[in-house]
Amino acid sequence: MTHQSTATPRTIAFIGAGNMASAIFGGMVDAGYPADRIIATARSRETLDALEQRYGVSTTQDNAYAVSQADVVVLGVKPQMMHDVCQALTPAVQNRKPLIVSVAAGITCDSLERWLGGDLAIIRCMPNTPSLVGVGASGLYATAQVTEEQRGLMDEMLTAVGIVEWVEEEGLLEAVTGISGSGPAYFFLFIESLEAAGIELGLNAETARRLAIQTARGAAEMAFFSEHEPAELRRRVCSPNGTTERAINSFEEDGLRDIVERAAKASGVRAAELARELDR
């Protein structure tokens, strides 16, 4: 990650450095973001010690202290904890007025603004865990208070760990959640299923896993780099009346497309439910 655009890298506090937040800042550090500009917080010292050792970031269990040092505050706790964490941070946030970024599923900008005392620039981000290996996908929505410079800063942070797509309506983040936020789990499930099928067909477990993972990786890389669309790449694997055609027909007969659409919608619906359940 390069920093030609800003003379001094911004200090970023990650409040709640769990799976998702650490995937983002871990990816940023690996891409060259200065670790001494990142402050991570968590409840347990063990979590923080491990992150300090792995990435060299600063850590503290004191959320308000982290906010007092930060230009950008990334809220990375579970949605169910967000209200209490925000309320406890209100004085520090109002004193410092950093850019607020939430990665929590569901929680709206309106709730965050209210919980943090109002008059803030807020970005909602729906990232995903492959950010850790630089292949993340993040959808972002910004409130009117967010400046072009702050948008640029988020672009810079997140393009270091993957692709960034801005949406102009907050509600579209539910769709982003259903596709890319939850999406890695769908592909892991597919890999698990293919591995299990390989074992069922007589392969040893390690061979089945290696073949399944490498095939998923190869297909994703081909889809990413190819000038052809995924449907064309699929057709090129299917010889007429061959083996793949038989397998694809089996998927189609079993309704794979509807199954996927229902699952993606269910994730988005749950994001909207979380917003309603947790608003107060």
Ligand X SMILES: O=C(O)[C@@H]1CCC=N1
Q: CB-wise, 79 or 98, nearer to ligand NDP?
A: 79
Contact pattern from residue 118 through residue 157 relative to ligand NDP, giving x for each residue in contact according to CB under 6 A and a dash for the rest: --------xxxx----------------------------
Q: List residues bridging with 76 in a β-sheet.
A: none
**Rounded to 5 degrees, what angle do the CA atoms 98, 154, 63 make?**
40
Q: CB-wise, 41 or 138, nearer to ligand X?
A: 138
Q: List residues bridging with 163 in a β-sheet.
A: 137
What gap in Å lies between CA 4 and CA 193, rounded to an integer? Answer: 45
- The gap from C-alpha 91 to its chain's centroid, in whole angstroms, comes to 28
CB of 126 to ligand X, least distance (A): 7
Among 11, 12, 13, 15, binds ligand NDP (CB under 6 A): 15
**Rounded to 5 degrees, what angle do the CA atoms 51, 56, 136 make?**
65
Q: CB-wise, 16 or 27, nearer to ligand NDP?
A: 16
Among 9, 26, 27, 76, binds ligand NDP (CB under 6 A): 76
Choose the stretch contacting ligand X; rule: CB under 6 A; options: 65-73, 144-152, 175-183, 256-264.
175-183
Pick from ligand NDP, ligand X, none: which does 4 bind, CB < 5 to 8 A by kind?
Answer: none
How many CB atoms neighbour CB 52 within 10 A?
Answer: 15
CB of 181 to ligand X, least distance (A): 4
**Rounded to 5 degrees, what angle do the CA atoms 270, 275, 280 make?**
145
Which DSSP letter does residue 11 get?
A: P
Contact pattern from residue 21 through residue 40 relative to ligand NDP, giving x for each residue in contact according to CB under 6 A and a dash for the rest: x-------------------
Binding-site size, ligand X (CB under 6 A): 4
- Residue 20 in the binding site for ligand NDP (CB under 6 A): yes
Identity of the amino acid at 121: A
Among 79, 136, 139, 178, binds ligand NDP (CB under 6 A): 79
- Residue 177 in the binding site for ligand X (CB under 6 A): yes
CB of 105 to ligand X, least distance (A): 4
Strands (E), the chain: 12-15, 38-41, 58-60, 72-75, 99-102, 122-126, 136-142, 162-166
Q: Which of 51, 63, 49 is nearest to 16 (CA)?
A: 63
How far are the Cα atoms of 184, 226, 242, 245 from residue 238, in angstroms, in the given order? 25, 17, 7, 5
Contact pattern from residue 160 through residue 189 relative to ligand NDP, giving x for each residue in contact according to CB under 6 A and a dash for the rest: ---------------------x--------
- Residue 181 in the binding site for ligand X (CB under 6 A): yes
For 165-204, the DSSP string reads: EE-SSTTHHHHHIIIIISHHHHHHHHHHHHHHHHHHTT--
- Residue 198 in the binding site for ligand X (CB under 6 A): no
What gap in Å lies between CA 125 and CA 131, rounded to an integer? Answer: 13
Q: CB-wise, 39 or 104, nearer to ligand NDP?
A: 104
- Residue 108 in the binding site for ligand X (CB under 6 A): no
Residues that bind ligand X (CB under 6 A): 105, 177, 181-182
Residues that bind ligand NDP (CB under 6 A): 15-21, 41-44, 47, 63, 76-79, 81, 85, 103-105, 126-129, 181
